[in-house]
């Protein structure tokens, strides 16, 4: 069984992780843009050409570039945080 201190530490780490995930961007980005950005990154990871990503997402290329720029400026990287 976990001690009270261990449970509190685990809870606090999770809260910080979720805060940075949801609000860790340098500028406020609409949730719909964050969703499009995540979908676009998945497509790019699957090998879809950058120009084709916007078309697949149903946005014009200029909007996609704006979404990419807005979603790529973060306050703190999430990769190094451990939860649990």
Please, are residues 70 and 33 in contact by the beta-carbon 8 Å criterion? yes
pLDDT at 83: 46
Give the residue extent of every domain in the chain. 4-72
10's tokens: 């685990």
Using only the alpha carbons of the chain, give its radius of gyration. Answer: 17
pLDDT at 84: 44
pLDDT at 31: 86
pLDDT at 10: 81
pLDDT at 56: 95
17's tokens: 């992780």
Output the tens digit of pLDDT for each of the chain's 84 residues. Answer: 668 877 778 878 788 777 766 666 667 788 899 899 999 999 999 999 988 999 999 999 999 999 998 888 766 555 555 544
Compute the distance between CA of residue 79 and CA of residue 64 in angstroms, rounded to an integer: 24
């Amino acid at each position: 069984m976990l001690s009270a201190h261990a449970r509190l530490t685990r809870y606090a780490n999770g809260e910080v992780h979720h805060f940075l995930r949801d609000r860790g961007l340098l500028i406020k980005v609409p949730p719909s843009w964050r969703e499009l950005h995540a979908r676009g990154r998945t497509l790019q990871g699957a090998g879809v050409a950058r120009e084709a990503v916007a078309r697949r997402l149903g946005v014009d290329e200029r909007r996609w570039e704006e979404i990419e720029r807005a979603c790529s400026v973060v306050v703190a990287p999430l990769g190094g945080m451990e939860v649990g």
